[in-house]
Structures are given as structure tokens and as C-alpha cells.
Amino acid sequence: MDSSSSSAPVLDCAGRLLDTSRPIIMGVINTTPDSFADGGTLYLGGQLDMDLALRRAHEMVAQGAGVLDVGGESTRPGADEVTLDLEMQRVVPLVERISAELDVVISVDTSAPEVMAAAASAGAGLINDVRALSRPGALQAAAATSLPVCLMHMQGEPATMQAAPDYADVVGEVEAYLLQRVAACEAQGIPRERLLLDPGFGFGKSVAHNLRLLRELPRLAQHGLPLMVGLSRKSLIGKLLGREMTQRLPASLSLAVMAAERGASIIRTHDVAETADAVAMWVAMRETGEL
């Protein structure tokens, strides 16, 4: 199955261009001590080490990342919110340093309007909001940056989202919510050409919900907006296969390729080198005309 389109948009991310006609690898850089897959890996002596984070950024770009997603607030199931000051301290200086040293699109993973504005000024080229600009002031802040925005679906909030996720029709409800947020963005002056969609795998979804969304990803792709998909190391794998966090790479690669086949434009991953290779093989097959 190939849901890609030769007319897929090229996103202008603060002067750096993303051609979404072929899958793009997004490397995850969490500056948090408690993120589900890599929390604390950039900490030394209990403190965030900016030099270590910058080395991680250089490594991911060398491995094939076209986007780096910098986040300062954990959104794992059960996570609590962090203060605005702490999120700013974790995110903005690193965005500024990456922008100065690397020619790569920097995505800022935040729901806070103040962080969106500060990160844009520091060199971010994309806003990635798990709350789809629903916080007060977020629509206005995102519009003011003129950056592309990824709108994600989440049922509930991180602290409680996995308690008892429930849908009558998960695909239809996710689709309706995302289209409603697209309309809200357009009403605020953010054009469709600057919008991406993320179904939010693992964010208020059961295993069955996640599998249904992946199977029907082409339904979301048909709206003509680039899709971002994050399935890397997710608990879905642990629940289906009984794999611990360190054992989830093979299944993550399988899910990444399935997402690309079904129309995903950006594959968000903790394992850049391996994911880049897996997706590149699918792209090579597609370009031979065999898929």
C-alpha cells in the first residue's frame, strides 16, 4: 500500500525546508528526567547536561535525522506537568545551541505558548503540540511564530489518559477531533499549508485502539496534511510481545515501516540510525515501482 503523493507539501520551517514526499526521520531529544523511554539519559549528577544533549543532536543528524524534536515536559502515562520556568530552562538554550551548530529542522515539543514563542526566537522551525494548541493562548502564539504546527490527538491528560481509554469509533473520533483543530487553526490565521496531524498513538488509547488507528492511517492521510507518527518503544509493544523497553527496537522498526507504507510523512523515533535504514529500504523498494 502506498499512500504517498508527488504533490506532498514542502514545509518552510524557519527557512529550513522539509519535503514530505518521502518519509522524514525525527529524532527524539527529551531533556526530562522521567520520559518513558529515555528519561534522564542526558543528565549527569542529577542535572541536565547541555553538552551531552548537543552531542546527541549531532549524532542523530549524522545518523539520518531530518528533524530533531526537543521536549522539556514528559508526556508519558501518569506524568505530571512541569513548571513553565523549568520547561523553558530545559528547552530554549538547547534549541539555540542546536540551531547555531546544525543545519537541521528543530521541532519543539510543547503545549506552552510562552515556550513556543521563545523557542521560535531561538531557532525552532516546527511546533509539536500533544494538546493540539488547546491551551489558552496557544493558537495565538503559534500563529505569531509563522511556523508549521503538528496537531496531536490525546484523550484526557498524561496523568490519567491510560486509565480507561474509551471510544465508540476510535478512528472516526480521532479524525473528527483533528479536523476540528485544523478548523480552529485556520480561523486563527494558521493556513492548512502549515499544519501536520498526529493520531497520538499511546495517548489515551488501548492496544486495540492503536492497532486500528495504524491499520486505517490512510484514512487520515487522505485529508492532504502530512502525518507524524510516533510508535517508537511504545507500551503497545510491551503489551503485545512482552518486551521490556530495551527489547523493543525490532518491533519499533516494523511499526515504522508499516506507518510509512500507510502514509506517514514523519517518523518520530528514539533510534534514528536503525529507523532511517529500515525506512530507507522501504523507500528504495517504492522507487523501483515494486510497491
Residues annotated catalytic, as ranges: 234, 268
On whether the CB atoms of residues 263 and 23 are closer than 8 A, the answer is: no
Half-sphere exposure of 158 (CA within 13 A, CB side): 18
- How far are the Cα atoms of 40, 58, 142 from residue 97, in angstroms, in the given order? 20, 11, 22
Q: Which residues does 145 contact at the CB level (< 8 Å), separation at least 6?
A: 116, 117, 120, 127
